[in-house]
Amino acid sequence: MKKCILLFVLIFFFLTEKNFSQEKSYRFGFSFSPNVCWIKPDTKNYNSEGGMMGFSWGFLSHINMSDNYSIETGFNITQAYGKLSSPYLIEDNNGNSVSTGTLNRKYYLKYFEIPVILRMQANNESRYKFFGQIGIGTSFNIRAKADDDYQLISGSVIPSETNVDIKDNITLVRESIIIGGGCSIDLNSTTTLILGLNFNNGFIDILKGHNSLNNDKEQAYLNYFELNIGVLF
């Protein structure tokens, strides 16, 4: 978190200094990005059960620093989903063990993300301009729900649960590295279409609970690929 704050401060002072020396071009717009998400566990006997489709939408702020470099920031509202299976212990109201088995959980997470991305664009005088980009994303969890399905060793039947509130089991802040590339297309003198593909790689554990069977600390990382579609004005 401290490194992210330092990076924000350095970028702010750099852009402020450039303001006094040359005129910059600021552009604003909107984006919509369908994604494919998965959760990668780092706890023994926890398994990822594949990817799920999600999406994000947001506001773009594009700051040109030169013909080849720009900073992109703004905010995104991201719907990120994933599936994990884990060992599970069922207890009664008195705290007595009832049965053991496997919990299959689908996570439905919503984040408010602030990305800061450095975009490097190839020299090209045509309306099609190709770019690569790298940056960081700082996300804050604003909603966490789950659908739970139980498979018990004893054969006992426990009804599945849907729309379970798991906000207390999800960390507030998620940090990620954003790597991608794409193409910007000048539709006219004031409007640009952006098409890109990004990999959003989370590097901070998103879980803060403990396993009910063995009390192991739960650890997992949220990752996703997104198809970025944006318009700048």
Residue 199: the pLDDT is 98
For residue 129, pLDDT over 70 is answered with: yes
For the stretch 141-175, pLDDT in tens is 999 999 999 988 876 667 899 999 999 999 999 99
d(CA 163, CA 108): 9
CATH code assigned at 148: 2.40.160.20
Structural domain of residue 81, as residue ranges? Answer: 26-232
Structural domains of the chain, count: 1
Q: Is residue 36 part of a domain?
A: yes
Q: Is residue 140 part of a domain?
A: yes
Q: Is residue 17 part of a domain?
A: no
CB 181 within 8 A of CB 147: no
Give the side-chain half-sphere CA count within 13 A for 218. 20
- Provide the whole-model pTM: 0.86
Q: Is residue 142 part of a domain?
A: yes
Mean pLDDT, residues 79-85: 98
